[in-house]
Structure 1
Amino acid sequence: MHHFVDAAPGIRLWVEERGAADAPPLLLIMGAQASGMGWPDELVDALAVHHRVIRYDHRDTGRSTWPFDRQPYAITDLAHDAVAVLDGLGVDRAHIVGLSLGGMLAQLLIADHPDRLLSATLMGTCALSTAPYTAPDGTRIPPTELPGIAPHVLEMWSRPVEDHGLEAELDRRVEHWRALSGGQLPFDADYFRGLERRIIEHTGHYATTTAHGRADDSGLLRTDELARTDVPTLVVSAPAEPVFPPPHPQHLAQAIRGARVVEIPGMGHALPREVLAPLTRAVLDHAAGRRPGTPAL
């Protein structure tokens, strides 16, 4: 079932629900420039066996309003949108799962709206905290000195996107997923091409946007709030991650009070078929209070 939620004046968000209406709600929050359709159907359906799964299109993605060029907004507004989705569906509290920018938005919800959360699962993201990372040998490392984005990903992001037709755009998106996948698992180009074709069909066009990269990113740090939260939090560690590579997940788990870490073998900054089953188990176990993973050191 899908419908629209009015999140703010002039902002309407496309929302989809799967699973039983009386099951515990679980909100999926996608990354930058990514439609909610970026969550693979296989993952959504597997989670929906036990949850009322909610996914939605951010502003400037999918079928939601594309307002940035006439109505600029801040990253924090995207976190407010997630709360608006819950409000629009009459959901008091939900489990949340955030990927990449979605993981940052999830941290804002942990810090600013803990009363709306049952649990949080974060992946492919960095800590919104100035607390240092304590390495296994006891060395304390400032967050600014943790590993950065892989050069080949930065180079790809720096290229201008030109319109050479649908199939060329699909080629570009597939190569983008290849770069983000990290190289530890076999890359299935047909799988990602199918994913992107469905996203384009859902959106109704293949135009791209840099809105989220241009949005005001001030005021994101939540060092103290994350350090004292009571929201049960799981951090997914992806060993092939090229955007926020280890030890970013370990730092994130240290920055969030009580957080635990689970590693998904071979995972990068993407959701190929090989990671869906272990990721589903990790999310379901965490939401059920079975506490997968290990505590942060």
Structure 2
Amino acid sequence: MTFFRHESFDIAYVDSGPANQEPILLIHGFASSAKVNWITPGWIKTLTEAGYRTVAFDHRGHGRSSKSYDPEDYTPTRMAGDAVALLDHLGIPIAHVMGYSMGARVSAFLALDHPERVRSLIFGGLGIGMVDGVGDWDPIAEALSAEDPGTVTHPRGKMFRTFADQTGSDRRALAACISTSRELLTVDEMARITQPTLVAVGTKDDIGGSASELATLMPNAEAFDIEGRDHMLSVGDRTFKKRALEFLRMHPIEGLAR
């Protein structure tokens, strides 16, 4: 991975594919990384082979990027700022943007704060939960902070604690992130996102909420149900990849090759 610096953070990123192809920026989810969310499930390979310049980065506090233990560093607005700074760093004026879970939320803030930089959006793993919330996540922060993982009994807390341990994440940084990164968007804000948008959520996902309910709040959005998949398994689903490629082909960036 390569690094660039923004707001005192060293942000790790990958940039795959020729510069003259349509760019797509991938924004990963909470406690994940570009490797876990996009490389290992095959997204970068799929998108690059389909003719896209594929850019992915590790959020501040995640993966190989710099860590902070200050919750104020992890608002969706500031993390969206990292994404825009990366586009600036690479000289990309406009891109398709795809986010998963927390990354979908950050993508929405990016589209609201910098609409001219976003050609289209794909929200994965987060539907109406972007507006209504995704349940009580305080037990997750507690699970991440627990000295002994054996003391964690909350099911969702145990799931994310195990995931964080498996990926070698900085649990203290993640605990700081989760306290401020869950900022909700209003119905009016969703209505202001006018870019073509695909909302894709697994039918067994108990975190993201309904894809169709979120899509109905937006003027140019459509929903896709990832059949039989939960929040973790939806990421690499082949039907999701197929639908995402179809969606991207329908909304090209004019003047660029694919």
TM-score per shorter chain, which class?
0.7 to 0.9
Structure 2 counterparts to residues 21-170 of structure 1, below 5 A: 21-41=19-39, 42-49=42-49, 50-69=51-70, 72-127=73-128, 143=132, 149=135, 158-162=142-146
Tell me, yes or no, if structure 1 residue 285 matches structure 2 residue 249.
Answer: no
Could you tell me how far apart the structure 2 residues matched to 1:65 and 1:277 are?
Answer: 32
| Residue in 2 that maps onto 1:203 | none
TM-score normalised per structure 2: 0.79
Could you tell me how far apart the structure 1 residues matched to 2:62 and 2:197 are?
Answer: 27
Q: Which of the residues 174, 190, 210 maps onto 1:226? A: 190
CA-to-aligned-CA distance 1:223-278 (integer Å, 9 cap, x gap): 33431443010000310102123xx31221011112001121112112468x4321
Q: Which of the residues 263, 266, 270 maps onto 2:228? A: 266
Could you tell me how far apart the structure 2 residues matched to 1:264 and 1:19 are?
Answer: 28
Percent of pairs with identical residues = 25
* Preserved CA contact (<8 Å) 2:127 2:200: no
Could you tell me how far apart the structure 1 residues matched to 2:245 and 2:96 are?
Answer: 10
| Residue in 2 that maps onto 1:212 | 177
* Preserved CA contact (<8 Å) 2:125 2:208: yes
Q: Which of the residues 199, 204, 216 maps onto 1:240? A: 204
SS at match of 2:98: strand
Letter in 2 for 1:5: F
* Preserved CA contact (<8 Å) 2:76 2:181: yes
Could you tell me how far apart the structure 2 residues matched to 1:118 and 1:20 are?
Answer: 19
Q: What residue ranges of structure 1 are gaps of 5+ in the alignment?
A: 131-142, 181-191, 201-205, 292-297
Tell me, yes or no, if structure 1 residue 5 matches structure 2 residue 4.
Answer: yes
Judged with a 3 Å threshold, the aligned counterparts in structure 2 of structure 1 residues 228 and 4 are, in CA distance, closer, same or farther, namely same
Judged with a 3 Å threshold, the aligned counterparts in structure 2 of structure 1 residues 17 and 160 are, in CA distance, closer, same or farther, namely closer
Could you tell me how far apart the structure 1 residues matched to 2:108 and 2:24 are?
Answer: 16
Judged with a 3 Å threshold, the aligned counterparts in structure 2 of structure 1 residues 225 and 215 are, in CA distance, closer, same or farther, namely closer
Judged with a 3 Å threshold, the aligned counterparts in structure 2 of structure 1 residues 289 and 196 are, in CA distance, closer, same or farther, namely farther
* Preserved CA contact (<8 Å) 1:129 1:223: no
SS at match of 2:216: helix
Quote the RMSD (CA, aligned, Å): 3.5
* Preserved CA contact (<8 Å) 1:128 1:223: no
Could you tell me how far apart the structure 2 residues matched to 1:129 and 1:122 are?
Answer: 10
Could you tell me how far apart the structure 2 residues matched to 1:103 and 1:62 are?
Answer: 18
Q: What residue ranges of structure 2 are gaps of 5+ in the alignment?
A: 253-258
CA-to-aligned-CA distance 1:69-123 (integer Å, 9 cap, x gap): 4974533101111111111111111111111111111111222212111110002
SS at match of 1:159: helix
SS at match of 1:120: strand
* Preserved CA contact (<8 Å) 1:20 1:48: no
SS at match of 2:54: strand
Q: Deviation at 1:68?
A: 3.1
| Residue in 2 that maps onto 1:250 | 212
Residue correspondences, number: 243
* Preserved CA contact (<8 Å) 1:128 1:222: no
Q: Deviation at 1:177?
A: 11
Could you tell me how far apart the structure 2 residues matched to 1:70 and 1:254 are?
Answer: 32
TM-score normalised per structure 1: 0.69
SS at match of 2:106: helix
Judged with a 3 Å threshold, the aligned counterparts in structure 2 of structure 1 residues 284 and 85 are, in CA distance, closer, same or farther, namely same
